[in-house]
Chains A and B, each alone.
Chain A
Amino acid sequence: MSTKIKLTIPCDEANHVCDKTQYKEASLWEMIKLNIHLIYCRACRKYTKNNTSLTNKLKESQVACLDKDCKEAMKKDFDKALIEHK
């Protein structure tokens, strides 16, 4: 039985694959299984829809933030100023 190909996946796995898809890290087979799951599962369809539009919004907004090194450098300079200030 264990050699039988599984076509259905539970919801938590479907959501996990959906998250991975947002970062283009899901494999083709995983995506096929996700889509089969989406055919019959309304809750996951909703989650996938929201998740995809979140990704699109993030792309659209070109939101930016500082990476860790920048922040560290900033903190160093700022701490110096803090000490001088006191």
Chain B
Amino acid sequence: MPNHQINPNKWIDLYSDYLFNYTISRVSDREIAQDLVQDTFLAGLKSMKNFKGEASERTWLISILKRKIIDHYRKTNSKKGKAEVRINYNDSESEGDWLEERVADPFDKTAEDTLQNAELGEAIHNCLEKLPKKQADVFKMKTILGHETEAICNELNITASNLWVIIHRARTAMADCLKENWF
């Protein structure tokens, strides 16, 4: 059995993006997602002794995160009023209006689409983890966060042509990595 080690010092660098992406596809609010990820790290730290090393660190953290997400939804639901029954269509004039409400919204995504997007997002993060750290950082800043070329160059202290070389390598690697399952 592979015995996995636990090292909380590197958690945020290694897993925060993956956990954040996982959360945001389920709660769709950046701030809440960020809090949940933070809570997960803290909870993980507290229950570090319970880590048996049977699963990888990331899997273990995800399992904590799942509980946190469920708790979040429980909390928001308990704040809501108790079940209420609304009778909207009680006069003869608006009879049949409910039919209109039942029509599918063409712009609404189906559950399947959403699920597929979440899976794709996770696949992208898996591929990102395989890239060298510098390539992954530049690629994330440029592509996912959409920073300006100049801003990235200043922050990382590289030249523009240097940045494009890194982007080129990262894109080639990402395309190769995603090719098998997604293209």
Instruction: Pick the contact of A57: B9, B30, B182 (CB < 8 A).
Output: B182
- Interface digits, B17-40 against A, CB 8 Å rule (1 contact, 0 not)? 100110011000010011001100
Tell me if A's interface is mostly helix, strand, loop or mixed.
Answer: helix
Least CB distance, B101 to chain A, in whole angstroms: 28
Whether the Cβ atoms of B12 and A78 lie closer than 8 Å is yes
A19 to B164, CA, bound (A): 8
Q: Flag whether B158 is at the interface (Cβ < 8 A).
A: no
Given A23-B142, A66-B34: A50 in contact with B183 (beta carbons within 8 A):
yes
Interface bin, chain A: 20 to 34
Tell me if B's interface is mostly helix, strand, loop or mixed.
Answer: helix
Q: Flag whether B56 is at the interface (Cβ < 8 A).
A: no
Which of these binds chain A: B57-65, B69-77, B85-93, B120-128?
B120-128
Q: Apart from A71-B16, A74-B34, A75-B12, what 14 extra A-B contacts exist at CB < 8 Å?
A: A15-B168, A50-B183, A53-B183, A57-B124, A60-B117, A60-B120, A63-B144, A64-B21, A65-B17, A65-B144, A74-B37, A74-B38, A82-B45, A85-B45
Could you name 24 residue pairs across A and B whose Cβ atoms are closer than 8 Å? A19-B168, A19-B171, A23-B143, A25-B149, A50-B179, A54-B175, A57-B124, A57-B183, A60-B120, A61-B117, A62-B25, A63-B121, A63-B144, A64-B20, A65-B17, A65-B144, A65-B145, A66-B16, A66-B37, A71-B12, A71-B16, A74-B12, A78-B8, A82-B9
